Amino acid sequence: MRACPACGLPALDSLFEKNGFSVLGCRCGTAFVAEPPKPAELRDYYSLDYFKGNREKFGYIDYAAEEPFQAESFQKKADRLGEILGGGRVLDVGCATSSFLKQLGPGWEKHGVELSVELLKAYPPPEDVKVWSGDFLAYPKNEKPFDAVTLWDVLDHVPEPKSVVRKSAELLRPGGVLAVLVGDRSSCFARLLGKRWHLYIPPTHLTFFTRASLLELLKCSGFKTIRHEYEGRWVPLSLCFFRLSYILEAAWVRKLYEWSLRSAVRNLKIYINLRDVVTVYASKT
Ligand SMILES: [Zn+2]
């Protein structure tokens, strides 16, 4: 049986099946997909349709159209990073349409990594953002270390999150900051929904942390937690129905979602905080 990708212990037991994938649990609190797709399959998975509402892939309705909504949430994160570091060289892993990097002020030298070549072609990054396309684990070792590495909604997508955290540590200067956002399966909302929780979406998500198991992984990888928080975010109403349709799998929710896409409420702004997504800022010791 596959070992835990967060702590390395052998899996304890099988928790549930979802979307044809078996999900295993570890005593550290992390859950994970028993047989994750191979790297080449993952690369194919994140083709442009993932970002354009392909339901089979549990992706986005329209990533670029959601950008104005994400901007507000990312602005808070950019402010927080500014409070901690002031500025410097930052690398955003899984930068997509550079929506986070665009929120950073002029005190930052902005770098990104994005696996989806198609996405970069469709939405080229702005001039002040340098994007490297490929698997983050193959990111070239730079002579000049980074002051900050950001992993917004990344660790739940990868089969080997420990390697991603260790790679981030390699690229950071001592005292540099790693910022991580993941779903928290120990949250009340996740526990209430069980396997229907909207972030249990294999193979889009492959690793499912608790806040404690994430903090432990960071500690074991040489990071000291500065702060953690459960921030809410602004989303279009249509996205709420989109996600709800995954949870309930009921025809009426699907109809509600389709109606919301056609009507004026499509982009109605809703603030959501289910306290099931945790953001952690940690410094390299
Ligand atoms: Zn574990």
Whether 205 and 156 have beta carbons less than 8 Å apart is answered as: yes
Residue 277 sits at φ, ψ, to 5 deg, of -130, 125
Q: Which domains can be identified in the chain, with CATH numbers?
A: 13-284 (3.40.50.150)
Output the CA 3–ligand 1 centroid distance in Å.
Answer: 8
Residue ranges with strand state E in the chain: 13-18, 21-25, 31-33, 88-93, 108-114, 129-133, 146-152, 172-183, 207-208, 223-229, 233-236, 269-272, 277-284
What's the 81 CA to ligand 1 centre distance in angstroms? 29
> What is the distance in A from the centroid of ligand 1 to the CA of 128?
39
* % of the chain beyond a pLDDT of 90: 63
Higher pLDDT, 61 or 68: 68
**What percentage of the chain reaches a pLDDT higher than 70?**
92
Q: Which residues contact 165 (CB under 8 A, 6 or more apart)?
A: 151, 155, 178, 180, 217, 218, 221, 223
How many angstroms separate the alpha carbon of residue 23 from the centre of ligand 1? 13
- pLDDT score at 279: 98
**Residues surrounding ion ligand 1 at CB below 5 Å:** 4, 6-7, 9, 26, 28, 30
Q: Which two tokens stand for residue 179?
A: 């910022």
pLDDT tens-digit series, residues 185-238: 999 999 999 999 989 999 989 999 999 999 999 999 999 999 999 998 888 888
Task: Determine the distance separating the centroid of ligand 1 and the alpha carbon of 110, expressed in angstroms.
Answer: 33
pLDDT of residue 133: 94
Measured in angstroms, how far is the CA atom of residue 104 from the centroid of ligand 1?
34
Output the CA 29–ligand 1 centroid distance in Å. 6
Least-confidence region, from 54-58, 62-66, 75-79, 98-102: 54-58
Distance in Å, CA 31 to ligand 1 centroid: 8
CB 139 within 8 A of CB 171: yes
Phi and psi dihedrals of 42, rounded to 5?
A: -65, -40
Give backbone dihedrals phi and psi of 279, rounded to 5 degrees, phi first. -115, 130
Distance spanning both ends of the chain, measured CA to CA? 33
Ligand 1 centroid vs 154 CA: distance in angstroms? 18
Distances (CA, A) of 37 to 40, 66, 202: 8, 27, 10
d(CA 233, ligand 1 centre) in Å: 29
pLDDT, position 150: 98
- 138-174, pLDDT tens digit by residue? 999 877 999 999 999 999 999 999 999 999 999 999 9
Q: For position 99, what pLDDT does the model report?
A: 92
